[in-house]
C-alpha cells in the first residue's frame, strides 16, 4: 500500500467518493398525490403529461414551472377517465400534451442503469490500479 503515500491519491479518492454520492443520491421528480394532479388539471396548470408504459406512473409539468412532478394512478383506469372524473372539459383536456414515454422499470433495467452510471468510474479505477501496480513492479535491466 505504498501508493497511499503519494499526494495525488487523496484528491482522487475524494473526487471518486463525490461521484458515487452524486450518482446514488441524485434527486428525482417531486412526488405528489393524484388529488394534487387533478387540482392542477382543473385549474389549467398542467401543460404536459408523460405516461409511462406501465400505464400507472406518470410525470407532469406545470405552466410557468421548470419542475417535473410524478404521481401514479390505478392501472385499470384510463388517464382520460381520471381527468373526466376530476371535472375537466374536453377543451381543457385537449390543451394538454399527453404521450407515452420511457420503458418499463424492472430490476434488470435498474441494474443496467447502475452499471452504466458506474462504468466510467470503474474504468478509471482500473487504469489507476494498472499503472500503480506497474510502477511498483521491480525494474530489471537487461544484461
pTM over 0.75: no
Q: Which residues make up the CATH 3.30.720.210 domain(s) of the chain? A: 32-104
Would you tell me which CATH number, out of the four given (3.30.720.210, 3.40.50.280, 3.40.50.2300, 3.40.920.10), belongs to the domain 32-104? 3.30.720.210
The pLDDT assigned to 89 comes to: 86
Q: What is the grid cell recorded at 52?
A: 409511462
Phi, psi of 30 (to 5 degrees): -70, 125
Which residue has 410525470 as its cell numbers?
A: 59
Measure the CA angle with vertex 109, ends 103 and 111; round to 5°: 160
With a pLDDT cut of 70, the percent of the chain lying above it is: 85
Q: What is the grid cell recorded at 66?
A: 421548470
The Cα–Cα gap between 124 and 51 comes to: 37
User: Helix axis angle, 9-24 relative to 107-136, nearest 10°?
Assistant: 180
Report DSSP state, residue 104.
Answer: -
Contact criterion met (CB below 8 Å) for 62 and 96 = no
Spell out where the chain has E strands. 30-31, 46-52, 57-62, 68-72, 97-101
Q: What is the grid cell recorded at 10?
A: 487523496
* Each residue's pLDDT tens digit, 3-49: 556 767 777 888 888 777 777 666 566 788 889 989 998 888 899 99
Amino acid at each position: 500500500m505504498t501508493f497511499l503515500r503519494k499526494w495525488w491519491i487523496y484528491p482522487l479518492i475524494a473526487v471518486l467518493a463525490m461521484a458515487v454520492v452524486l450518482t446514488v443520491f441524485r434527486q428525482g421528480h417531486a412526488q405528489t398525490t393524484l388529488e394534487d394532479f387533478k387540482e392542477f388539471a382543473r385549474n389549467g396548470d398542467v401543460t404536459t403529461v408523460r405516461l409511462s408504459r406501465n400505464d400507472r406512473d406518470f410525470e407532469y409539468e406545470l405552466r410557468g414551472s421548470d419542475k417535473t412532478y410524478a404521481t401514479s394512478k390505478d392501472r385499470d383506469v384510463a388517464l382520460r377517465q381520471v381527468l373526466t372524473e376530476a371535472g375537466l372539459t374536453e377543451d381543457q383536456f385537449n390543451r394538454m400534451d399527453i404521450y407515452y414515454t420511457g420503458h418499463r422499470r424492472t430490476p434488470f433495467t435498474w441494474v443496467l442503469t447502475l452499471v452504466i452510471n458506474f462504468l466510467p468510474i470503474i474504468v478509471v479505477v482500473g487504469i489507476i490500479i494498472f499503472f500503480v501496480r506497474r510502477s511498483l513492479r521491480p525494474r530489471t535491466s537487461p544484461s
